[in-house]
Amino acid sequence: MGVGELRRAVFLDRDGVLNQVVMRGGKPASPRRLSEFSLLPGAGEQVARLKQAGYTVIVVTNQPDVARGHLPEQELAAMHAELARAAPVDEIQACPHGDRHACGCRKPKPGMLIEAAERHGIDLGASWLVGDGHKDMGAAEAAGVKAILIEAEYNSQVAAPYRAPDLASAIDHILEQG
């Protein structure tokens, strides 16, 4: 990368992309304790593939259970430490707010992506977001990044420009596109 050149990045949602979702009341939810946090098989290796290809890898995750009082900040920090040990990510960003806070960082708003782009010198137009929900797809569109939806039983109605059955297939697509 030359002086002044912007980097390509892949933004990864956390729950349902890198770790298992927890089903609560028949709906996908985030883990609330480290004991509930389970990385998906091969997640670390898939992130390593992106790093080897020269991508900056940033996790962007909504964690409203912090604001709701269901997820202690120390539990969130422990989950992110576990994730960082297992996968060579460049940064983990978490929005701890709920919808009522109307913050700019909560997906589908693009705040986390835009802030990371400024911090890391990222070309959003040459970057990707891999997620499992409509808020991820909305954040990608709002930030001007290409999007891939990881298919799950709970998101068949989500509109997405590209769908992949799992993270490995999503990364295959990204690497094929260059």
Q: Which residue is catalytic, options 15, 90, 132, 136?
A: 15
Does residue 132 carry a catalytic annotation?
A: no
Does residue 90 carry a catalytic annotation?
A: no
* Residue whose pair of structure tokens reads 């409509």 in the numeric block: 134
Q: Which residue is catalytic, options 13, 90, 132, 136?
A: 13
* Residue whose pair of structure tokens reads 């701890």 in the numeric block: 96
What percentage of the chain's residues is helix, strand, coil (to nearest 5)? 40, 20, 40
Please state, in angstroms and rounded to a whole number, the distance separating the CA atoms of residues 1 and 70. 43
Please state, in angstroms and rounded to a whole number, the distance separating the CA atoms of residues 126 and 91. 18
Please state, in angstroms and rounded to a whole number, the distance separating the CA atoms of residues 110 and 142. 6
* Residue whose pair of structure tokens reads 């708003």 in the numeric block: 109
**Residue 103 is which amino acid?**
C
Query: Which residues have a catalytic role annotated?
Result: 13, 15
